Every structure is written in C-alpha cells, then in structure tokens.
C-alpha cells in the first residue's frame, strides 16, 4: 500500500494483483509505504479509513482510492498456484495435492481448511462507510489505462516493467462449472470485477 498525501491518493495492494512491482517502481514518490508486515501492506479501504486516515488527513482532505481487481476465478487460481509451490509442500496451507475444483469448494465452505483460507477481494475494496467502494478500480490486465491514470495523478511516468512475487507456473485448468459455482456463491465479487475499468 502507498499513500500520496499531496496528490490525495491511496493505492491499495490487493494480493495477487501485481502491486508489488508498483511499490518497487513508485515508493520513492510516495509519502507513506506499507511493505511489511503483510496485514499492513494488504490493508483494505475500511481499515485504512478507520486506523490510518485520521492520523494523516484533516476534514478537508478528500483522498481518492485506487486498486486492481482480478476476475474472481483467476484470482483464486493465482492463490491456488502460489500455494502449490514446492517450498511449502508439507504444510497445511499447501495445495500441492489438491485439484482446483476441490480448492474452490473448500474455499466456499463456512470454515475453510488452512489451504483455502483466503478471504475476498470485496472486503479489501469496499466499506460500510464512505468511500463505500474504491473509486478507481481497475481490472488486472488493464495496466495501460491504470498507468495513464496513475501518471496523471502522481505526476510521474508510471510504467513498472518488472514482474515481482510471481506465482509458480502450472497448467491452468478452470472448469466452467467452477466459475458457475463461484458466481452463484460470491456474486458480489463478480459485480465488482465487472464494474472495474
């Protein structure tokens, strides 16, 4: 997460949306950078407005919020492949011996096992108080338009060219039935994705 106070911009770091490379590229221009621990780096808009905003802004300050969001199935696939990496093969959080359909079904249960405990993108980009939804929400994959927006807002050329923190490459198998189940059980995730630029 990065905060640009003069530009009144907060860039949220939704996990698995490539923001690590943006932090690497723009941290010298930001006034505040949350890199560690992970719960601060990936703080959602609700937590930010309650905990951090009162420390840095007055009542006249009107921050804009920016975030990337992935297609829900693609986002979950990224988590699945990340947790399939050999380095954690024997841990409860590993998906190494689980197929993606099983991962999806376990993720959707009320109390998912460790390997499927992830949360949702919507909890990071929405709030029950203003701003109710991040006002500059971009689809992961629409980096060109996002970079133009950030360049105009921050006043520097934004073009991160490094891919950092990439999940391992494994053959992607997402069945249509998995997507249908996700749409049925997590409609808000799909609505947010479709509303993004």
What's the token pair of residue 14? 């939704």
Place of tokens 């407005």: 49
Q: 88, exposed or middle or buried, with CB in 10 Å at 0-12, 13-18, 19+?
A: middle
Answer yes or no: are the C-beta atoms of 137 and 67 closer than 8 Å. Answer: yes
* Cβ neighbours of residue 158 closer than 8 Å, sequence gap 6 or more: 22, 25, 26, 147, 150, 151
Name the packing angle between helices 72-82 and 187-195 (round to 10°). Answer: 110
Express each pLDDT in 5-55 by its tens digit: 999 999 999 999 999 999 999 999 999 999 999 999 999 999 999 999 999
Kindly give the residue spans of alpha helices, DSSP state H, lying in 83-126: 100-107, 122-125
- Residue 161 reports pLDDT greater than 80: no
What's the token pair of residue 133? 């939804």
Q: If you ran DSSP here, which 8-state letter would residue 165 be given?
A: S
Q: Which among 98, 57, 55 has a CA at the least distance from the CA of 79?
A: 98
Distance of alpha carbon 3 from alpha carbon 9, whole angstroms: 6
- Residue 165 reports pLDDT greater than 80: no
Q: How confident is the model at residue 162 (pLDDT cuts 50, 70, 90)?
A: low
Q: In this predicted structure, what is the pLDDT of residue 59?
A: 72
Express each pLDDT in 87-133 by its tens digit: 999 999 999 999 999 999 999 999 999 999 999 999 999 998 878 99
Tell me what percent of the residues of the chain surpass a pLDDT of 70. Answer: 96
Distance of alpha carbon 9 from alpha carbon 71, whole angstroms: 24
Distance of alpha carbon 175 from alpha carbon 4, whole angstroms: 41
Answer yes or no: are the C-beta atoms of 62 and 5 closer than 8 Å. Answer: no
Q: State the pTM of this model.
A: 0.91
């Amino acid at each position: 997460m990065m905060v640009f106070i003069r530009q009144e911009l907060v860039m949220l770091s939704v996990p698995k949306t490539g923001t690590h490379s943006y932090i690497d590229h723009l941290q010298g221009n930001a006034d505040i950078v949350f890199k560690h621990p992970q719960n601060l780096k990936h703080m959602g808009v609700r937590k930010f407005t309650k905990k951090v905003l009162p420390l840095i802004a007055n009542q006249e300050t009107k921050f804009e919020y920016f975030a990337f969001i992935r297609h829900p199935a693609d986002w979950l696939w990224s988590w699945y492949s990340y947790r399939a990496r050999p380095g954690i093969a024997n841990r409860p959080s590993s998906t190494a011996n689980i197929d993606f359909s099983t991962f999806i079904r376990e993720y959707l249960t009320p109390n998912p096992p460790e390997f499927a405990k992830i949360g949702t993108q919507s909890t990071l980009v929405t709030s029950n108080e203003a701003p109710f939804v991040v006002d500059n929400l971009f689809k992961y994959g629409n980096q060109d338009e996002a970079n133009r927006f950030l360049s105009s807002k921050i006043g520097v050329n934004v073009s991160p060219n490094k891919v950092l923190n990439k999940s391992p490459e494994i053959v992607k198998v997402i069945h249509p039935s998995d997507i249908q189940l996700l749409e049925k059980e997590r409609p808000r995730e799909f609505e947010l994705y479709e509303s993004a630029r």
